[in-house]
């Protein structure tokens, strides 16, 4: 039992030391990771250049469903008629001074 406690304390101290090191060297670690990222991106960019000749797009046109369009237009007309039937003089214009 004593061996397990000593082992767990050592692991805890080691973990604590590792966290302290990363906390103290956070800015340098960030710069190092940024440098590595830039190198990797540069390598991938020059290894696989983007060429416009190889890019092909498929012609895809969305079909217009006339029945749905007519239903939408009819609903729009009904709402527009209801809106026009309301007398605007009944309501106060809060934005007019």
Residue 5 lies in a domain: yes
Residue 44 lies in a domain: yes
Residue 37 lies in a domain: yes
Reported as type and span, the H/E element at residue 17 is helix 2-24
Mapping DSSP to helix (H, G, I), strand (E, B) and coil, where does residue 57 land?
coil
Residue 62 lies in a domain: no
What is the spatial distance between Cα 60 and Cα 66, in angstroms, rounded to a whole number? Answer: 18
Per-residue pLDDT tens listing for the chain (97 residues):
676 777 788 888 888 899 888 888 889 999 999 999 999 998 888 887 766 555 555 655 567 788 888 999 999 999 988 888 876 666 666 776 5
Residue 58 lies in a domain: no
Instruction: Provide the token pair at 59.
Output: 């012609």
Q: State the residue for tokens 């960030």.
A: 30
Number of domains in the chain: 1
Residue 73 lies in a domain: no
Domain that holds residue 28: 1-49
What is the spatial distance between Cα 21 and Cα 28, in angstroms, rounded to a whole number? Answer: 11
Q: Is the pTM of this model over 0.75?
A: no
């Amino acid at each position: 039992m004593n061996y397990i406690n000593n082992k767990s304390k050592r692991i805890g101290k080691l973990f604590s030391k590792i966290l302290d090191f990363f906390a103290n060297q956070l800015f340098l670690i960030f710069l190092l990771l940024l440098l590595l990222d830039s190198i990797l991106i540069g390598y991938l960019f020059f290894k696989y250049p983007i060429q416009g000749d190889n890019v092909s797009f498929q012609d895809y046109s969305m079909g217009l469903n006339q029945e749905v369009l007519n239903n939408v237009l009819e609903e729009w007309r009904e709402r527009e008629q209801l809106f026009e039937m309301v007398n605007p003089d009944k309501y106060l214009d809060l934005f007019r001074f």
